[in-house]
Amino acid sequence: MLLSLLNRKEKLKFLDLAMHMVSVDGEPNKIEQRLLNMMLAEVGDNIVQEYHFALSKDLDETMSFFAENNPTVQNIVYLNLLKITMNDDFYNTAEHFFLENICQKFSIDEMKKKQIMRLVYNERDLRERAKRIVSH
């Protein structure tokens, strides 16, 4: 969501963070993999062809890159990472601590965190309502 607003380098760095996010609790599950594929489609074919699908060696450098970026970019990155964790039913402590670390590094306050979380829940609720409506 809103990944198209990021520039080339931000998209590549986001994909790196996303790979770390889905790997924090082991191998990506099917839902996480599907969501990653949707995000890859959103960043564009030119980025996908350029990106190497492996974890970077320096997560701290990637975090610092975003910590020095503007709040809009930070919020887009956090929104999409949160979306990854909230789309399956297994939100575990490793994911929680990873996201909390990002909030701290990006200086995302509790109010903004709650607003972003509400967006993710609203999108999830809308998807569930749409499923119920079309299947009945």
The CATH number for 106's domain is: 1.10.3680.10
pLDDT at residue 28 is higher than 70 = yes
**Exposure class string for 71-103: b at 16+ Cβ within 10 A, else e:** eebbbbbbbbbbbbbbbbeeeeeebeebbeebb
pLDDT higher than threshold 70 for residue 44: yes
Lowest mean pLDDT among 17-21, 69-73, 122-126: 17-21
Between CA 76 and CA 71 the distance in angstroms is 9
pLDDT at 88: 66
pLDDT, average across residues 112-127: 93
pLDDT at 93: 86
- In the prediction, which pLDDT does 20 show? 86
Q: How many domains does the chain have?
A: 1
Confidence (pTM): 0.86
Domain range holding 21? 3-135
